């Protein structure tokens, strides 16, 4: 079953979450190959865009991707965000998402990310400025609120809809929770009842069955998968099949997991070169081998390795 945002139709309801340090182009090409219907970029700083930082401009490059990607921006000042959104649109963004959920101290102390949920008048002004600055659809990704005493997501959902936002994503934890406890899926159901724009449910989907359950319990229009896909892009294929009522693909073998880990490595190497790939792939590789006998020792060896050949040999040794 397809899903649409502001007139753009996606082939299914399975979305890969924005994750800083994870969802770069290599990762998005991989999730697309596993059947994910819509990707998000990593969050991109409005300031860095306005200054034209090279690595930030690179993050706007969506070429070679077979599945569309939403460009996610973060910032705290309406006019800066509006200017950054206009740049992103000019560079080819087809949908722009505003980050109102990042809990990281260095982000919220600047009034960005989840800090916007503490100041809804500014959140409204910021949304309005961005919507007015671009022609493309604008979406908002939010948490449940700042803390348990201020769970104002329904108010922010209504503000977003009234200001012309075309879809919202809700990760129903508060900022103070960071990633602790369980995502409160009831809040997704309430958001769905509160607005008529599409609601994307997010939080704690680790198996295809979790996605089915989230849709059943909340009625959300699409599901977004973050941590569950790290080192496990197979989850996108399984979830897409489950949501379309198809038979689930078989659980990947260890050999298949290693093969995909190396494919991920090669994709990144093509895009980012040797040095960055070795250092950035270390965390991905540790996710790919998590839970396998010998993983801890292999991880230590990967952290010392400096070439693809060494990494490949370490991964292959896990098959013995
Ligand atoms: C490593 C990491 C980086 C993240 N970076 C972002 C980000 O750049 N923008 C954003 O909106 N959310 C970010 N998130 C939050 C995820 O998009 C998602 O909302 C959260 O992980 C809950 O979904 P999950 O339970 O499927 O992981 C990040 C999460 C993780 C684990």
* Residue ID of nearest Cα to ligand 1 atom 29: 19
Helices (H) and strands (E) in the chain, counts: 13, 11
Q: Which atom of ligand 1 is nearest to the CA of 225?
A: 26
Tokens standing for 104?
A: 């990281």
Write down the catalytic residue from 16, 36, 102, 157: 102
Q: For each of the chain's 320 residues, which pLDDT tens digit applies?
A: 889 999 999 999 999 999 999 999 999 999 999 999 999 999 999 999 999 999 999 999 999 999 999 999 999 999 999 999 999 999 999 999 999 999 999 999 999 999 999 999 999 999 999 999 999 999 999 999 999 999 999 999 999 999 999 999 999 999 999 999 999 999 999 999 999 999 999 999 999 999 999 999 999 999 999 999 999 999 999 999 999 999 999 999 999 999 999 999 999 999 999 999 999 999 999 999 999 999 999 999 999 999 999 999 999 999 98
Coil, strand, or helix at residue 15?
strand
**Cα 102 to ligand 1 centroid, rounded to whole Å:** 8
Q: Where are the domains of the chain?
A: 3-243, 254-317
Cβ of 88 closer than 6 Å to ligand 1, yes or no, is: no
User: What CATH class has 254-317?
Assistant: mainly alpha
Please check whether residue 96 is in contact with residue 89, taking contact to mean a CB–CB distance below 8 angstroms.
Answer: yes
Distance, CA of 60 to CA of 91 (rounded, Å) = 7
Burial of 27 (0-12, 13-18, 19+ CB in 10 A): buried
Looking at residue 2, its pLDDT comes to 86
**Cα 22 to ligand 1 centroid, rounded to whole Å:** 9
User: Which of 115, 171, 174, 201 is the best mutation target for the ligand 1 pocket, counting ligand atoms within 8 Å of the beta carbon and taking the most?
Assistant: 171
CATH code for the domain defined by 3-243: 3.20.20.70
Tokens standing for 111?
A: 């009034």
* Residue ID of nearest Cα to ligand 1 atom 30: 19
Cβ of 113 closer than 6 Å to ligand 1, yes or no, is: no
Q: Which atom of ligand 1 is nearest to the CA of 42?
A: 8
User: Which of 14, 15, 16, 17 is the best mutation target for the ligand 1 pocket, counting ligand atoms within 8 Å of the beta carbon and taking the most?
Assistant: 17
Task: Let me know if 157 is a catalytic residue.
Answer: no
Cβ of 225 closer than 6 Å to ligand 1, yes or no, is: yes
Cβ of 127 closer than 6 Å to ligand 1, yes or no, is: no
Close Cβ partners of 254 (under 8 Å, ≥ 6 residues apart): 292, 318, 319
Please check whether residue 13 is in contact with residue 221, taking contact to mean a CB–CB distance below 8 angstroms.
Answer: yes
Q: Which atom of ligand 1 is nearest to the CA of 43?
A: 8
**Cα 316 to ligand 1 centroid, rounded to whole Å:** 30
């Amino acid at each position: 079953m397809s899903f649409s945002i502001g007139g753009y139709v996606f082939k299914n309801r399975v979305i890969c979450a924005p994750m800083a340090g994870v969802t770069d182009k290599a990762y998005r090409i991989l999730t697309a190959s596993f059947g994910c219907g819509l990707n998000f970029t990593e969050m991109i700083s409005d300031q860095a865009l306005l200054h034209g930082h090279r690595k930030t401009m690179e993050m706007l490059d969506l070429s070679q991707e077979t599945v569309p990607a939403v460009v996610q921006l973060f910032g705290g000042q309406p006019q800066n965000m509006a200017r950054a959104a206009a740049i992103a649109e000019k560079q080819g963004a087809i949908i722009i998402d505003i980050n109102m959920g990042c809990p990281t101290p260095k982000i919220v102390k600047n009034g960005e990310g989840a800090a916007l949920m503490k100041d809804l008048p500014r959140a409204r002004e910021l949304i309005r400025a961005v919507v007015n600055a671009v022609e493309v659809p604008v979406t908002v990704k939010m948490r449940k609120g700042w803390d348990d005493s201020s769970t104002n997501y329904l108010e922010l959902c209504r503000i977003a809809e009234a200001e012309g936002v075309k879809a919202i994503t809700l990760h129903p934890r508060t900022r103070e929770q960071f990633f602790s406890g369980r995502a409160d899926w009831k809040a997704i159901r309430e958001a769905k009842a509160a607005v008529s724009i599409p609601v994307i449910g997010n939080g704690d989907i680790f198996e295809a069955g979790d996605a089915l359950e989230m849709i059943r319990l909340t009625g959300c229009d699409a599901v977004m998968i973050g941590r569950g896909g790290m080192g496990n892009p197979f989850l996108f294929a399984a979830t897409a099949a489950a949501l379309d009522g198809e038979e689930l693909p078989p659980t990947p073998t260890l050999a298949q997991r290693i093969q995909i880990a190396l494919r991920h490595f090669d994709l990144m190497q093509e895009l980012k070169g040797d040095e960055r790939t070795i250092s950035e792939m270390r965390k991905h590789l540790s996710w790919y081998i998590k839970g396998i006998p010998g993983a801890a020792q292999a991880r230590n060896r990967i952290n010392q390795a400096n070439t693809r050949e060494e990494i490949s040999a370490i991964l292959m040794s896990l098959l013995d």
